[in-house]
Amino acid sequence: MATIRDLATDQTNYWCPGCGNFGIITAVKRAIVQLGLGREDVTAVTGIGCHGKTTNYLNVNGFHVIHGRVLPVATAIKLANLEQTVIGFSGDGDSFGIGMGHFPHAARRNPDITLIVHDNLIYGLTTGQTSPTTRRGHMTKSTPRGAFEEAVNPIAAALASNASFVARGYVGEIQQLTDLFVQALSWEGFAMVDVLQPCVSWNRINTYQFYKERVYKLEEAGHDPSDISQAYERSLEWTERIPIGVFYKRKRPVYNDNFPFLEGEPLNRRRINDADITGLMKEFA
Ligand code: SF4
């Protein structure tokens, strides 16, 4: 079992002081400890963006991938070793820009992985251009007259793609965020937690104060996470009030259940030289 200290690395942290990424990594470490996992039991996959440094700062198995490819790599790692708890970390650009082609397919396949979206509603690493979740009208470096495109709604997109666990957290509510990560990491299937993560350097609109004035907890509002209509309705709330918590969860078959050969010894531990492929050759050759 890992401790919080075990999960720290000796790398210098280059995130801006006050960045919401600190809240995410703190909550993830707490969730790993609460679940009694060892460092070697967890694999973190990160994409491109400020969140990508998570593999430097979280002392578990790590895989830093090319832009937008967190989900296919995380899925493959899980299939290769079903004993691993696989967490994909991805930004709003990485998930819903270049990675958007993978998102609905991961959600509908339902691999047993967690996706944590560092959603700061802007491109932070490249110094403040619009991202796919930037709200319409937001003035940024790339949109000096205000963003004129409608924003992607991660919660509605996950629901529409049949994700089996859909949640939103906020780094200013660290206890609830930890609890959401505990639920997501222990969920059998694809769990997405979209995390509101203020970028203190480049997003002057969606600040800690902005969220403090708006967020409310679904579990305190009588929300029923088994009701997809309610989940859709809540997913559209943003301007006045912003819901955080579990929007929707529904148990359904997990992707790896479709592959009987995955039963037993994890693929990564099997000796390839001992594999008998005679049956396969007869079937396909
Ligand atoms: Fe965080 Fe924004 Fe700084 Fe990136 S640029 S580390 S998202 S505050």
pLDDT tens for each residue of 160-170: 999 999 999 99
In whole angstroms, what is the distance from residue 116 CA to residue 158 CA? 13
Distance CA 159, CA 50 (A): 26
Residue 273 gets which letter from DSSP? G
User: Any idea of the CA torsion for 217, 222, 226, 231, to the nearest 10 degrees?
Assistant: -60
Mean pLDDT, to the nearest integer, of 122-128?
95
- Using a 10 angstrom Cβ sphere, with 0-12 exposed, 13-18 middle and 19 or more buried, the burial of residue 127 is exposed
Q: Are 176 and 150 in contact (CB under 8 A)?
A: no
Mean pLDDT of 102-131: 97
Q: Is the pLDDT of residue 275 over 90?
A: no
Return the amino acid letter for 172: G
Going by the DSSP 8-state scheme, the letter that residue 51 receives in this structure is: G
Q: Which is the closest atom of ligand 1 to the Cα of 18? A: 8
Q: Does the pLDDT of residue 271 top 90, yes or no?
A: no
Looking at residue 277, its pLDDT comes to 85
Ligand 1 closest atom vs CA 50:
4
Q: What pTM value is reported for the model?
A: 0.96
CB proximity list for 265: less than 8 A, separation 6 or greater: none
Q: Over the stretch 197-235, which tens digit does the pLDDT of each residue have? A: 999 999 999 999 999 999 999 999 999 999 999 999 999
Q: Which two tokens stand for residue 92?
A: 């709003």
Residues with CB under 6 A from ligand 1: 15-16, 19, 21, 50, 120, 124-125, 199-202
Distance 103 CA to ligand 1 centre (A): 23
CA 140 to centroid of ligand 1, rounded, Å: 15
Helix (H, G, I), strand (E, B) or coil at 129: strand
**pLDDT for 37:** 98
Nearest residue CA, atom 3 of ligand 1? 16
Q: Please determine, for residue 261, whether its predicted confidence score (pLDDT) is greater than 90.
A: no
**Residue of the nearest CA to atom 1 in ligand 1?**
19
- Quick one: pLDDT band at residue 272, thresholds 50, 70, 90? confident
Among 54, 125, 205, which residue has the most ligand 1 atoms within 8 Å of its CB, making it the best to mutate?
Answer: 125
Q: What is the mean pLDDT of the chain?
A: 96
In sequence order, which residues have a C-beta less than 8 Å from that of residue 164 and are 6 or more positions away? Answer: 110, 187, 189, 190, 191, 249, 250, 251, 252
pLDDT band of residue 81 (cuts 50, 70, 90) is very high
Pocket test for ligand 1, best of 19, 22, 171, 203 (most atoms within 8 A of CB): 19
